[in-house]
Chains A and B, each alone.
Chain A
Amino acid sequence: MFDTLKSRIYQGKQFIKDIQNAPMRDQFRGFPILKEGAEVCDENICPTGALKTNPLTIDMGKCTFCGACERACNAIEFTNGYKLASTDREKLVVTPQSDYENYVKSAVEVKKEIVKTFGHSLKLRQVSAAGCNGCEMELNACSNVNFDMGRYGIDFVASPRHADGIVITGPISKNMAYALENCYHSVPDPKLVILCGACSISGGVFQNSTELNREFLEKYPIDLYIPGCPVHPLTFINGILSYIRK
């Protein structure tokens, strides 16, 4: 009993108070900045085709944030900006004109009915579909004592019947296609579909695999894209908050 209490006291307070303004270590590779001169980079260095040099862009929906281009080319720099979510697939494409502040302001289009329906509580069913378990580990971390996503009424639930939407990770294998669609139909309307990680948004490093079946993404509307490889818990929580809160 006393040992338990002692352990508790040693731990102190662990939660991050202000998630929306939480500091991030400098080394984190988040929002990229493309400077003049980056056109000369070799785009073949990029494992996913996220980097294009003519015209110069980085597609955060494909990017694994591996930093290979940054290490090879001075004109590309990854900032520690972690608010990367967008409601619009196109907006994930970063150009030399993009800057982080504007991106954060404009990337997520807030809709009144979404805020009204899901703003106070959002229960999500996660579907893991052939990724690497990296995104899953970070989604689990969202609910730990540090990030404590539950304080905003956002939780992962066991049954799709209890959920307001699904979060997909992984590039969606043929073997998972049926279960994914089935799960989607089990979620009552109105519902959200959130793509989490490079794999689910674009196939990521697995995009050329012959074992995928990504038809689901063409059939159903996608509400939110959250880039990363894996998605950092702060990226995920802030992404959701920016969509369901005013």
Chain B
Amino acid sequence: MLKIKNNSKVNLSDIPVLKIGELRDEIIKENKRPIGFFGKDWGEGRIRLFVILEDAPELLVSSAIFEADEKSYECITNEIPSFHIYEREFYEQFGIEPLHHPWLKPVRLNQDKYEFFEMKGEEVHQVAVGPIHAGVIEPGHFRFMCNGETVYHLEIMLGYQHRGVEDLMVKNPSNQLAESICGDSVIAYNTAYSQMMENLKNIQVSNKAQLIRKVCLEMERAAIHIGDLGAIAGDIAYLMGASVFGATRTLVINTMLEFCGSRFGRGMVTVGGVNYDLSDEKIERALKTFDKVEKDVERMTNTMLKNSTVMSRLEKTGTVSEERAKEAGLVGMAGRACGIDVDSRFDFPDKWNEELGIRKKAFKASGDVNSRFKLRYKEIRESFSIIRKCLAKLADYKNDPLITNGEDMAKDAFVVSIVEGWRGEIVHIAMTDNDGKLSRYKIKDPSFNNWYGLALAVRNNGVSDFPLCNKSHNLSYCGNDL
């Protein structure tokens, strides 16, 4: 397999082309976590399958070509379960069947053909929820198999948010579209897209712009985590927490509005850098706001953690064991809360980790709602520490340009760009043809891996704990459905 780096470009011709049997053997021999597994139309009825495995701090890439008459292969999922969702997606997008796949169901399309797993027995009943949910949330269908109040099994059918983003990206790529793939991770998505383009156009983004992006990325993380702490509080009817965290989140996103005109960071990141500078005055005001935010969050979190009625709802609810999480291939925050050590900020570090002394801190995971609650709190504090370091460092780069221009896009290139959004790794992969035009754009949201984790979390919990399991994950529908 070819070793490549995150956020860098290689020639398509450097990527090995194997027979699918050989590729399968290699994947199983490497036994690494998949980050990409997707097809591309290779002309004359052929399909080329690309595979990207994590081998931090590098990535392993390889591929195989299916001839027009090759329409199946022996699935990998039975050897490495975390491939399950990738193989389903590949099948749905290209019609090449992974034989003996244990769970070969639709991912985004053909919902009317979806067959739910059913349990038989007098006591078993089904609860069907969605696509339209009770609150103001994105659509998805949940099917619970229950015995009385206890959930035995949850199956999640998605695809309602599918709007063909990957195709749109090939036809008409723009920062505005990248920002709208998953609107709660605007900065992360837009940074992943912009890095991709910068690689293709050979642009070196200025230090100043890099730091501003980093500040905004961590603000996005902190704001969502704070909001979700509030949502978790709301779901256990601890309204005090819901209001305090809600109001505190407002302070962070309003600071974002001051930075770039949008509460969610729209318009900030652009190909080549950032659109808006941070004046000293803005930075000073932001730092004051962050002081208050950190204090409020700390006070409220500690109040909640000391409260036994709160803890009795959070502890041992929605537990996913580390072993199961690894098997399912959970990533990001949901994975870390189960004890899996994945964080692309540290697995694929940029130069700033060393320059600013940003270090990974240990977390004692227990896999339950409590673990996800505490992890979010920990990450909020770390985010603010990173933000402060970046803002202080900005003073060194006062004269840097905001935006750097580039050349035409490279031809026959292959780029991988991974950004750690608040949910986890956001992976963008692009290829260009020999005219230097995008020919394939692949996106992987962390939710793509993690929805299955939510299904595992609710097993043997009460139906009434579902909202809590759900909110503590807060997975993305649009990021999954694309």
Are A and B subunits of one complex? yes
Interface residues of A (CB under 8 A from B): 3-4, 6-8, 10-11, 14, 25, 27-29, 47-48, 64-68, 71, 78, 125-141, 144-146, 156, 158-159, 170-171, 173-176, 179, 183, 199, 204-206, 208-212, 229-230, 232
Least distance between B197 CB and chain A CB atoms (Å)? 14
8 cross-chain pairs, A with B, having the tightest CB-CB distances, nearest first: A134-B183, A132-B183, A158-B134, A211-B164, A3-B303, A47-B176, A144-B246, A132-B180
Instruction: Say whether A47 contacts B177, CB under 8 Å.
Output: yes
Instruction: Say whether B162 contacts A130, CB under 8 Å.
Output: yes
| Contacting residue for A144 out of B161, B243, B476, B478, CB 8 A | B243
Name the CB-closest residue of B to A132. B183
Least distance between B303 CB and chain A CB atoms (Å)? 4
Q: Which of B150-168 contact A (CB under 8 A)?
A: 159-165, 167-168
* A136 in contact with B299 given A27-B258, A66-B176, A212-B163 (CB within 8 Å): no
Least distance between B476 CB and chain A CB atoms (Å)? 7
Compute how far the CA of A160 lies from the CA of B259 in the bound complex, rounded to whole angstroms.
39
Least distance between A138 CB and chain B CB atoms (Å)? 8
Compute how far the CA of A238 lies from the CA of B174 in the bound complex, rounded to whole angstroms.
31
Compute how far the CA of A211 lies from the CA of B240 in the bound complex, rounded to whole angstroms.
42
| Contacting residue for A7 out of B139, B240, B246, B263, CB 8 A | B240
Interface residues of B (CB under 8 A from A): 108-109, 111, 131-132, 134-139, 159-165, 167-168, 171-172, 174-177, 179-184, 186, 240, 243-244, 246-247, 250, 254, 257-264, 266-267, 275, 296, 299-300, 302-303, 306-307, 476-478, 481
Least distance between A128 CB and chain B CB atoms (Å)? 5
Task: Enumerate chain A residues within 8 angstroms of B132, measured Cβ to Cβ.
Answer: 125, 127-128, 179, 183
Name the CB-closest residue of A to B477. A133
| Contacting residue for A130 out of B163, B168, B243, CB 8 A | B163
Least distance between B212 CB and chain A CB atoms (Å)? 15
* A27 in contact with B246 given A66-B176, A67-B275 (CB within 8 Å): no
Task: Enumerate chain A residues within 8 angstroms of B168, measured Cβ to Cβ.
Answer: 205-206, 208-209
* A137 in contact with B184 given A10-B296, A158-B134 (CB within 8 Å): yes
Instruction: Say whether A134 contacts B296, CB under 8 Å.
Output: no
Task: Enumerate chain A residues within 8 angstroms of B163, measured Cβ to Cβ.
Answer: 130, 171, 173, 206, 209, 211-212
Task: Enumerate chain A residues within 8 angstroms of B254, measured Cβ to Cβ.
Answer: 25
Task: Enumerate chain B residues within 8 angstroms of A199, measured Cβ to Cβ.
Answer: 180
Least distance between B448 CB and chain A CB atoms (Å)? 15
Instruction: Say whether B244 contacts A11, CB under 8 Å.
Output: yes
Interface centre among B161, B177, B250 (most CB of A within 10 A): B161
Compute how far the CA of A94 lies from the CA of B268 in the bound complex, rounded to whole angstroms.
25
Name the CB-closest residue of B to A45. B174
Q: A7-B244, A27-B258 are in contact. List 5 more A-B contacts (CB 8 A).
A: A25-B258, A130-B163, A205-B168, A209-B167, A230-B264
Task: Enumerate chain A residues within 8 angstroms of B296, measured Cβ to Cβ.
Answer: 7, 10-11
Task: Enumerate chain A residues within 8 angstroms of B180, measured Cβ to Cβ.
Answer: 64, 131-132, 134, 199, 204-206, 229
Name the CB-closest residue of A to B131. A179
19 contacts between A and B (CB under 8 A): A6-B299, A7-B303, A10-B296, A11-B247, A27-B259, A64-B266, A65-B262, A131-B183, A131-B478, A136-B137, A139-B136, A141-B250, A146-B250, A158-B134, A173-B160, A179-B132, A209-B164, A211-B162, A230-B264
Least distance between B89 CB and chain A CB atoms (Å)? 16
Task: Enumerate chain A residues within 8 angstroms of B244, measured Cβ to Cβ.
Answer: 7-8, 11
| Contacting residue for B139 out of A6, A128, A158, CB 8 A | A128
| Contacting residue for A173 out of B162, B167, B258, B260, CB 8 A | B162
Name the CB-closest residue of A to B108. A175
Task: Enumerate chain A residues within 8 angstroms of B186, measured Cβ to Cβ.
Answer: 134
* A205 in contact with B139 given A3-B303, A7-B300, A67-B275 (CB within 8 Å): no
| Contacting residue for A136 out of B138, B262, B300, CB 8 A | B138
Task: Enumerate chain B residues within 8 angstroms of A10, measured Cβ to Cβ.
Answer: 296, 299
Instruction: Say whether B134 contacts A132, CB under 8 Å.
Output: no
Compute how far the CA of A145 lies from the CA of B266 in the bound complex, rounded to whole angstroms.
24
Compute how far the CA of A145 lies from the CA of B174 in the bound complex, rounded to whole angstroms.
35
Task: Enumerate chain A residues within 8 angstroms of B165, measured Cβ to Cβ.
Answer: 206, 209
Instruction: Say whether A129 contacts B139, CB under 8 Å.
Output: yes
Interface centre among B136, B161, B275 (most CB of A within 10 A): B136
Task: Enumerate chain A residues within 8 angstroms of B250, measured Cβ to Cβ.
Answer: 141, 144, 146
Instruction: Say whether B261 contacts A27, CB under 8 Å.
Output: yes
Name the CB-closest residue of B to A135. B183
Name the CB-closest residue of A to B174. A47
Compute how far the CA of A145 lies from the CA of B239 in the bound complex, rounded to whole angstroms.
11
Compute how far the CA of A139 lies from the CA of B186 in the bound complex, rounded to whole angstroms.
17
* A29 in contact with B246 given A7-B300, A10-B299, A136-B138 (CB within 8 Å): no
Instruction: Say whether A29 contacts B183, CB under 8 Å.
Output: no
Compute how far the CA of A157 lies from the CA of B267 in the bound complex, rounded to whole angstroms.
32
Task: Enumerate chain B residues within 8 angstroms of A232, measured Cβ to Cβ.
Answer: 263
Interface centre among B183, B247, B300 (most CB of A within 10 A): B183
Name the CB-closest residue of B to A158. B134
Compute how far the CA of A66 lies from the CA of B165 in the bound complex, rounded to whole angstroms.
19
Compute how far the CA of A176 lies from the CA of B177 in the bound complex, rounded to whole angstroms.
20
